[in-house]
Structure 1
Amino acid sequence: MNNDLHYLTAADPQRNAIGRFQYLSWGEFTGAVDITVASGQAWEVVFYQGQIAWIVDRTQTNRIWQRLLRAEVGYEHVGLDLLFQAANHQPWPGFEQGREVCWQYQGALSLMMLAEIKTSELTNILTIAARETIFDLLQYSQGQKLQFRSQSEIFIERPPITINTEEVIAQAEIMWQEWHTQKLGNISPNKTPVIRHPVQLYRQTTPIIYQNLVQVITGKRTLREIAIEIDEDLLLLTRSLTRYIQTGIIELIDLPDLKSPLPINKFLPERQIVRTPSPPPKPVQSKLVICIDDNPRVCESMRAIVTDAGYRFIAIQDATQALPRLLENKPDLIFLDLIMPKINGYEICGQIRRISALANTPIVILTGKDGLLDRVRSKVVGASEFTCKPITEYAILSSLDKYIGTTASKN
């Protein structure tokens, strides 16, 4: 096996990432190329006679395949579990014996041969993966050293699909130029946005925009995954978040790759792929009560009363996290403390009422004050009721009975 090691940097225009790909294409190279950068990212690019057969991002392999399967095939139809079964069921015979091959690619080939995936769908997946990888290499090469190590002897016959290297290079260069022109060069689309300062975000947006952002930015999806999820252009999506990223309201983090499926149904009869069964329907849950109060004793007292009555309960002691968690959980009843650090109950109540998903949720204000002015102001900002502290079991049960009913099924 021949090994060829090269170190490339952006300062070396004659031998940059694009030039290396073109060299392999023009030389009709067949084999694998391992690419690494100092920050830890690593890829494997496999060529057949200068054309790209497949690309593996070693840091996000499962995440990328799941995203592209969802976009091109439909996640409900084919997922990682099915790929894993197919890879072990009917592997494509065209590789060197003993050669370790990306199981996601192997599974996709098997499903294509079984007509579970269309050739056009797999071609699109491989093309997008190649284009994104070249884009990422262009971005990483802006200051980092790229290491290329090539090795031949991998195929014993032509793979069913190959991607035109020159075409995906041209597409990736256009994407990178557009990205760079919009001053997004330091933002990787593989990063995951996380809302760090929800109150500031709310104050700088409209209630509708805030609600949409909180629902989309969950801290569990990369920018590329979000773009697929909401059917939005990646460039436009990222540009719309730039101001919040620059001010620290939204932070970009790295997510680990998804776990690979467990080796179930490894030995399957010929041409029988077992689809993962649909999960059983979820049992009907009891109604949810959320208490927003910075006092842990109040929260624990409330928890005991509410759960004994058969309801689910969540306590939120950090008022700045109230809106995101309310949108995430969508409670049936909210108990809200009036006096808290950083942000008071009046302001939170007003913000809740401007969010359509929570506009009609009952809100019971909790406070040690019992003045007429406080009651009037609570009504003005949209509170449903006013309950004095210290809380009593009778008062809380009365609110539960009034707004969501006293009968609750315990799960």
Structure 2
Amino acid sequence: MQGNLNEIDICSILQLIELGQRTGQLLVEAPSSHQSNKLDGESLRYRPKQKSWFVFFLNGQIIYCQEGESRLSRIGDYLHHYRVETRLEEIQLASLSSTNAPEYAYIWALLERNIIQPKIAGSIIHGLVHETLFDLLSLHQGNFIFHQGAALTPQLNTLEIAPLVTKITKQVQEWKQLYPHIQSPEQLPVLADQVRLRSSLPAATLNKLQHWTDGKTSLRQLARHLNRDILTVAKAIYPYVQQNWLQLVYSITLKQENYTKDRLEVNHRKRIVCIDDAIAIGETIESILQPQGYEVISLTNPLEALSLVFQLKPDLILCDITMPQLEGYEICAMLRHSTVFRLVPIIMLTGKDGFIDRVRASMVGATDYLTKPFTDTELLMLIEKYINKESCI
């Protein structure tokens, strides 16, 4: 069994495996909603990368779930919650890499050495299965293949699919209601307004927030440390994020801030952010504007762009109108609600040249409008209309 998630969703695939009481493993691959970054000296380009997951089954029930890139640190986060200090030695960890499921082998190695008890092992497995299914049930695109074969051994316990899917599907629906303030379990919470937090929260609560909002711990890691599901953690911090007392950033944003700080010491080029899901458009804009002394940052994920632009603080934004998940009109309207972007020029990019599109762009606060395809001269003239070119170098 194999196919595309545009034709059949994860929920239906899991139901088929359960009904057929299949044994084997399911591989799912999809573009990551969290982007990778590439520094090329002139621009910072955010590229989508592939992410994969494995789900192991026995007679239509789940034994274990694992990300394609096995990270034993996931288990380490749970061990942190249970205050388990003993870890395997490096040589022992190295031997696990040759197994079919290194994380699962790690848990069994801890069990065999009596470092953890079966109850804790079961709880860790349940947590990892839950978070993996949360990611999978959030997918709308990608590919899958189910290999029927021998089961992952040994088995500590198995989990019924139907109740898990019902519970997690409801959580995914509630999670979507937190957009755009909370977008990804991989975002890192950082304190944004300590004065407001100090005046509104008890000292003990503030101390806990300060401990976890170090810019190094993601929402998902925080959920593991607290042994809570990701939705519970997100809902707890949502009011503070909504009031901008806490900010959620991506690790690449922090890298970009350090990169920018170094760059600002040697030049003061004007920064332009291009939000367009078509990589070719970002590359074209970079090729036109970089030789003219502008710094160009291309973002291909509209949801992620909303968070990143607040960190990047661009002098001008180019934004495509038609994009999956979030339209350019919506992005423009959201940015205009922030005092930070009230006066920043926002130019809408579109393949259409219609009067209605121009009117709608104006209604949401767009500064101007550029129809694709455009010439080098058209783009440069529009940019120079809103940015003082003499201050770019």
Task: Give TM-score, length-normalised by structure 1.
Answer: 0.48
Name the larger-Rg structure.
Answer: 1
